[in-house]
């Protein structure tokens, strides 16, 4: 391997890591809700779309400055979480997980339709001033790294740190973990399941906003943003559905794996293998660790 | 001429739209342009030769299965039955080709769909004028040759194709392989899976391979991401050419100033400074009947829908004249398409002077002129400009391929070639 090939390998690996973090941003939202309520939220991708649409809509249609539009969107996502708890989850307490999962499929369609009606279907330009393009310093040395993805990685790191403190150190965080461990036991010590659900869906909504901003800055805000959830699934399978660090590490493994596969194996098998390769990689992990890399091992005594 | 007296007979035209889903940003302006033009004919002229047009919208979501359902659900609408289908999807077009010949309803896959349907002897019910993907690919090769100082200079050059990994995206591959053989350039094909939100690996390969030119057969979010990725790796935009479905405002605006100079194929002008647009504003939007936003009239995909509606309505008008009645059906419209001639003089009458190329379709040639021009994005002015003349395709490459592919279709489907004498 000559120097140029080696640099290219480094470039592919780094790009994979960065792309993986972008997937992790979406996967985080899934993890939060699954961790606190055992619900696989099919609507997480659409929530990212809805949040990004709302952000652009507030800026474009109402002339909000960026900071106010972000606060406004966070308020909308919190209101949405409250509505979801009131209208949907409250009616489905103690139902089978599959029922709750099906309800989130319905939620995805409702949110997508609402986004369409409220903000329209056009491609919207999202410019929050996030740096984009190649990082010049490295580019001049022969390695290409996208600034937007570096920014996303930094944001993800801050978000994970925030979530870690929130879960470990705050009263609400401990209550969330208690609900996640055992609904009945948590209820018996006076934790309000409804409040916890509103909180966790709100946090997932804010995480969706961050994911929507990063992906929307890359491609414009449009309805295909909802499909980024497909990129998060292998990350979840690999990282575990209940682990925040798992979502990050899983994302990076998937990102690097699929990029290396596409660049080095793709040309021999016709290319466009990264999508299915990510799932293959996740399935291979499942063979050895069914709970995922950082998932909780379920031991059931009969 | 047929009498223009108002008639109760309605001309049913289903529209297979996609106003929802990931491809809606492109489906909506096309559907608006198509519907607005035909509604304008209803409002201004009382339809076509006195028969009003009845649009029957059906949402496909750019999904082939739904598109076929739409076809089945709408083909028998009204007294006339569906007169023509414009599927706006290569996948749906492929599925409708065998059905159209049974139901005797023409399919107008304008500039998309199965390229070899250009052979009217094998595909009597399918029309893909004014040009096919294969013609367009050869036009791009000629443009590149011209910029390189002559076709002989293509030898040793490297041209990459970034394509949507679907029937649509794969269409130009064989043509470009043939062109590579003929002109001696190296051809590199790089697929991108649906929807194309993540293409980093593809563009890293382009960065490594350093092609002299990149072509793109993309659709939807794939276009926006590709243009941004190209800008990020500092690929020169004036060496990056998209198919005409990768050359709308939607595709370039998200990349901002970085998209300046990006090229794409075109067969009509952008903009709303034509008489037909004025009539649409006056007879449709002023009455509150417009399908979209008034300020988006004239965008590239709006005009694409408009030109599709114009050629379709002209084919219907021609059919009425051939058969001496305005109570026509799909079979008559097929005849109208096969005798269609919209020259400069007619374009001028329609308020579309210099808007597009003159088109003449025959029984044998369903592709029509096959001419393609290139347009370039001016990021500062936020507008597309035609930057080349209309090139003729390299028929010595496309002709044998069309003959070969259509013959294969005829053999596989037991279709006997009809005579066009």
Joined together, the tokens standing for residue A227 give: 């499909």
Residue B151 is predicted with a pLDDT of 97
Which chain A residue is nearest to residue B208, measuring alpha carbons? A8
Residue B399 is predicted with a pLDDT of 95
Could you tell me the CA-to-CA distances from A123 to A49, A50, A56, B83 in Å, in that order?
Answer: 12, 13, 11, 33
Spatial contact of B159 and B129, defined as CB atoms under 8 Å apart: no
pTM across the whole model: 0.90
What does the CA dihedral B202, B204, B209, B215 come to, rounded to 10 degrees? 40
Task: Give yes or no for A8 touching B (CB within 8 A).
Answer: yes
Residue B254 is predicted with a pLDDT of 87
Which domains occur in chain B, in start order? 7-131+270-369+401-412 (3.40.50.2300), 133-266 (3.40.50.2300)
Q: Which of A8, A12, A125 sits opposite B254 (nearest CB)?
A: A125
Residue A167 is predicted with a pLDDT of 82
CB contact under 8 A, A266 and B201: yes
Distance from CA of A270 to the nearest CA of B (A): 8
Percent of chain A with pLDDT over 70: 97
Joined together, the tokens standing for residue A203 give: 């946090």
- Helix orientation angle between B133-147 and B395-412, rounded to the nearest 10 degrees: 160
Residue A300 is predicted with a pLDDT of 64
Q: Where are the alpha helices (H) located in B163-299, listed in sequence order?
A: 167-170, 173-183, 200-209, 221-232, 249-252, 275-280
ipTM of the shown complex: 0.88
CB contact under 8 A, A227 and B22: yes
Spatial contact of A145 and B233, defined as CB atoms under 8 Å apart: no
Beta bridge partners of B346: none
Residue ranges of the domains in chain A? 16-228
Tell me the pLDDT tens digit for each residue of A60-99.
Answer: 999 999 999 999 999 999 999 999 999 998 888 778 889 9
C-alpha closest to that of B241 among B134, B155, B161? B161
pLDDT tens digits in sequence order for chain B, 421 residues long: 555 566 789 999 999 999 988 888 899 999 999 999 999 999 999 999 999 999 999 999 999 999 999 999 999 999 999 999 999 998 999 999 999 999 999 999 999 999 999 999 999 999 999 999 999 999 999 999 999 999 999 999 999 999 999 888 999 999 999 999 999 999 999 999 888 888 999 999 999 999 999 999 998 899 999 999 999 999 999 999 999 999 999 999 988 899 999 999 999 999 999 999 999 999 999 999 999 999 999 999 999 999 999 999 999 999 999 999 999 999 999 999 999 999 999 999 999 999 999 999 999 999 999 999 999 999 999 999 999 999 999 999 999 999 999 999 999 999 889 998 7
Which chain A residue is nearest to residue B166, measuring alpha carbons? A272
- Using the Cα atoms of residue B377, residue B383, residue B388 and residue B389 in order, give the sign of their dihedral: positive
Percent of chain A with pLDDT over 90: 45
End-to-end distance of chain B based on CA atoms, in angstroms?
A: 26
**Rounded (to 5) percent helix, strand, coil in chain A:** 75, 0, 20
Q: Which of A22, A223, A259 sits opposite B201 (nearest CB)?
A: A259
| pLDDT above 90 (res A290) | no
Question: How many Cβ atoms sit within 10 Å of the Cβ of residue B141?
Answer: 27
Distance from CA of A16 to the nearest CA of B (A): 8
Q: Which one of B197, B210, B260 makes the best mutation probe of the A interface by having the most chain A beta carbons within 10 Å?
A: B197
| pLDDT above 80 (res A139) | yes
Q: What is the Cα–Cα distance from A200 to A292, expressed in whole angstroms?
A: 22
Could you tell me the CA-to-CA distances from B250 to A5, B153, B261 in Å, in that order?
Answer: 36, 34, 15
Q: Which of B28, B165, B234 sits opposite A134 (nearest CB)?
A: B234
Q: What is the Cα–Cα distance from B361 to A300, expressed in whole angstroms?
A: 73
Spatial contact of B354 and B121, defined as CB atoms under 8 Å apart: no
| pLDDT above 90 (res A204) | yes
| pLDDT above 80 (res A295) | no
Mean pLDDT, chain A, as a whole number?
89
Give the strand pairing for B240-242 and B213-217: parallel
Which chain A residue is nearest to residue B192, measuring alpha carbons? A272
Task: Give yes or no for A182 touching B (CB within 8 A).
Answer: no
Name the residue with tokens 């399918």: B126
């Amino acid at each position: 391997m000559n120097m140029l090939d080696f640099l290219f390998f480094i470039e592919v690996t780094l790009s994979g890591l960065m792309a993986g973090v972008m997937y992790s941003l979406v996967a985080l939202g899934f993890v939060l809700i699954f961790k606190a309520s055992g619900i696989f939220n099919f609507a997480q991708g659409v929530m990212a779309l809805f949040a990004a649409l709302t952000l652009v809509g507030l800026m474009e249609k109402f002339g909000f400055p960026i900071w106010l539009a972000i606060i406004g969107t966070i308020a909308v996502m919190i209101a949405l979480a409250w509505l979801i708890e009131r209208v949907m989850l409250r009616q489905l307490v103690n139902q089978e997980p599959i029922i709750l999962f099906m309800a989130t499929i319905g939620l995805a369609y409702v949110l997508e339709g609402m986004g369409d009606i409220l903000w329209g279907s056009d491609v919207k330009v999202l410019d929050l001033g996030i740096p984009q393009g190649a990082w010049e310093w490295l580019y001049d040395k022969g390695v290409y790294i996208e600034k937007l993805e570096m920014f996303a990685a930094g944001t993800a790191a801050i978000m994970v740190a925030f979530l870690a403190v929130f879960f470990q150190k705050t009263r609400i965080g401990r209550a969330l973990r208690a609900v996640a461990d055992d609904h009945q036991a948590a209820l018996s010590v006076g934790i309000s399941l409804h409040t916890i659900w509103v909180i966790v869906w709100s946090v997932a909504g804010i995480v969706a906003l961050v994911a929507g901003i990063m992906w929307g800055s890359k491609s414009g805000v449009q309805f295909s943003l909802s499909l980024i959830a497909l990129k998060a699934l292998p990350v979840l399978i690999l990282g575990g559905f209940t682990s925040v660090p798992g979502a990050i590490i899983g994302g990076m493994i998937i990102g690097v794996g699929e990029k290396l596969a596409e660049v080095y194996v793709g040309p021999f098998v016709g290319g466009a293998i990264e999508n299915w390769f990510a799932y293959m990689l996740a399935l291979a992990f499942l063979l050895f660790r069914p709970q995922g890399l950082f998932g909780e091992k379920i031991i059931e005594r009969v | 001429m047929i009498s223009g007296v108002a008639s109760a007979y309605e001309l049913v035209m289903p529209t297979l739209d996609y106003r929802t889903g990931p491809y809606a940003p492109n489906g909506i302006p096309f559907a608006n342009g198509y519907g607005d033009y035909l509604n304008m004919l209803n409002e201004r002229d009382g339809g076509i030769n006195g028969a009003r047009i009845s649009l029957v919208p059906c949402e496909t979501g750019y999904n082939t299965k739904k598109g076929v359902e739409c076809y089945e659900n709408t083909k028998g609408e009204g007294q006339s039955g569906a007169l023509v289908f414009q599927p706006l999807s290569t996948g749906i077009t492929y599925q409708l080709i065998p059905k159209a010949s049974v139901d005797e309803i023409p399919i107008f896959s304008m500039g998309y769909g199965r390229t070899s349907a250009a052979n009217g002897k094998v595909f009597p019910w399918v029309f893909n004028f004014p040009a096919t993907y294969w013609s367009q690919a050869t036009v791009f090769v000629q443009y590149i040759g011209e910029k390189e100082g002559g076709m002989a200079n293509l030898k040793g050059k490297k041209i990459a194709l970034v394509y949507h990994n679907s029937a649509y995206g794969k269409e130009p591959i064989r043509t470009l392989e043939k062109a590579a053989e003929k002109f001696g350039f190296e051809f590199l094909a790089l697929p991108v899976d649906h929807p194309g939100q993540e293409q980093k690996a593809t563009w890293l390969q382009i960065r490594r391979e350093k092609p002299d030119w990149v072509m793109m057969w993309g659709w939807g979010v794939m276009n926006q991401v590709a243009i941004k990725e190209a800008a990020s790796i500092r690929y020169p935009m004036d060496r990056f050419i998209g198919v005409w479905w990768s050359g709308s405002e939607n595709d370039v605006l998200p990349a901002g100033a970085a998209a300046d100079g990006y090229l794409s194929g075109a067969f009509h002008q952008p903009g709303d400074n034509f008489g037909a647009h004025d009539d649409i504003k006056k007879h449709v939007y002023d009455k509150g009947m417009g399908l979209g936003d008034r300020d988006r009239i004239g965008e590239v995909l709006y005009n694409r829908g408009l030109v599709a509606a114009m050629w379709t309505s002209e084919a219907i008008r021609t059919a009425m004249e051939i058969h001496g009645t305005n109570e026509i059906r799909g079979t008559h419209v097929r005849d109208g398409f096969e005798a269609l001639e919209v020259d400069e003089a007619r374009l001028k009458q329609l308020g579309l002077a210099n808007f597009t190329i003159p088109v003449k379709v025959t029984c044998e040639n369903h592709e029509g002129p096959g001419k393609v021009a290139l347009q370039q994005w001016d990021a500062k002015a936020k507008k597309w400009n035609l930057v080349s003349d209309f090139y003729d395709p390299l028929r010595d490459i496309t002709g044998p391929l069309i003959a070969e592919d259509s013959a294969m279709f005829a053999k596989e489907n037991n279709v006997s070639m009809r005579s066009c004498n």
